[in-house]
Amino acid sequence: MSRLAIGRSPSVGYYPAPPMPAPFTAELVARETIAPGIAELSFAMREPARLDFKAGQFVSMAVDAPAAGADPVPRRSYSIASQSDAGDVLRFIVRVIPDGKASEYLMSISLGSLVRMTGPHGFFLLDPSHPGDVVFGATGTGIAAVMPMLGELGRRRESGQETRRCLLLWGMRQEADLFSRQEIDRLVARAGAELHIFLTAPGPHWTDGRGRITPALLERLAEMVAPTFYLVGNGAMITELKRELISRGINRKTQIRTEAFFD
Ligand SMILES: Cc1cc2nc3c(=O)[nH]c(=O)nc-3n(C[C@H](O)[C@H](O)[C@H](O)COP(=O)(O)OP(=O)(O)OC[C@H]3O[C@@H](n4cnc5c(N)ncnc54)[C@H](O)[C@@H]3O)c2cc1C
């Protein structure tokens, strides 16, 4: 039975609603440190064999062995960095937080471990179409959610569906933090997007943006045409940017989509 349903967006009419979340099990098949303090983990779907999800959605993972006692097993959410047509292996890009419960669990389990998850969750999804420019503002591992969205935009662009300008502002601390550059560059090129990286602590040879993405995005507002914003990552960035965009006349409901990873 298909898990797709029909939903209604107040701004854009009818569109296929995201698949319904359900429990599933996946096996850790690869884990690699891709930048200091950042790991990429791949989980092969086991039961069922693939997950139907939309670009931008996340899963909830049980980040402990099944509890012997009554305590519920702690859970954490992770955006799916895989392309949405590759639901047999789920990739995640995880900031390893010192002493973090999930971070310790995900970095200590051995390859071959089965992890219980539920998903796909969330409504941080690309609108079915855009009246104007598409603008992504991502900090840190927030780019994980943007990667499949860029892939989806690339596919739409190739079929002539999306022709407007697409802008991606990615905020990080320093050069060494940047990961998955080749893959991101490829996705950006296919989507016909412009990528600007902003570092808050760049080295002397850094030639792209400096500082936080909030002022950089606001400075570019005047040149944008009917933009739709997708903001993901640091919750404080999202709160501030949302407030500033609204105060400049951007419509909160129809033009801003957000996913906060933490406060
Ligand atoms: C919808 C959703 C999607 C998410 N997707 C991702 C993802 O793709 N990749 C990812 O790394 N995290 C993601 N997170 C955050 C993730 O769920 C955990 O909070 C994070 O991994 C820390 O868990 P922990 O148990 O190791 O540490 P905890 O002890 O629970 O957290 C310690 C502190 O770390 C900070 N923190 C949490 N996440 C981050 C982060 N990503 N970058 C910097 N500081 C952080 C917060 O201040 C938090 O209070 C997502 C969260 C949500 C709600």
Q: Is 57 in the pocket of ligand 1 (CB under 6 A)?
A: no
> 144 with 67, same domain?
no
> 91 with 158, same domain?
no
Amino acid at 61: M
Within 10 angstroms of residue 237's Cβ, the number of other Cβ atoms is 23
Q: Report pLDDT for 64.
A: 84
Q: Domain holding 117: CATH number?
A: 2.40.30.10
Q: Over pLDDT 70: what percentage of the chain?
A: 92
pLDDT single digits (tens) 24-57: 999 999 999 999 999 999 999 998 999 999 999 9
> 155 with 229, same domain?
yes
Q: Is 261 in the pocket of ligand 1 (CB under 6 A)?
A: yes
Q: What is the mean pLDDT of the chain?
A: 92
pLDDT single digits (tens) 66-98: 655 556 789 999 999 999 999 999 999 999 999
Best mutation site among 78, 82, 232, 263 for ligand 1 pocket (most ligand atoms within 8 Å of CB):
78
- Judge whether 156 and 123 are in contact, CB under 8 Å: no
- Between CA 169 and CA 162 the distance in angstroms is 19
Reported pTM: 0.93
Q: How confident is the model at residue 15 (pLDDT cuts 50, 70, 90)?
A: low
> 144 with 252, same domain?
yes
Tokens 């993901």 — which residue? 232
> Between these two residues, 27 and 6, which has the higher pLDDT value?
27
Residue 73: which domain range?
5-121
What average pLDDT does this structure show over 198-202?
98
DSSP H stretches of helix in 123-258: 143-158, 181-190, 213-219, 235-247, 252-255
User: What are the b/e assignments for 117-145, b being 16+ CB within 10 Å?
Assistant: bebbbbebbbbeebeebbbbbbbbbbbbb
For residue 128, being part of any structural domain is answered with no
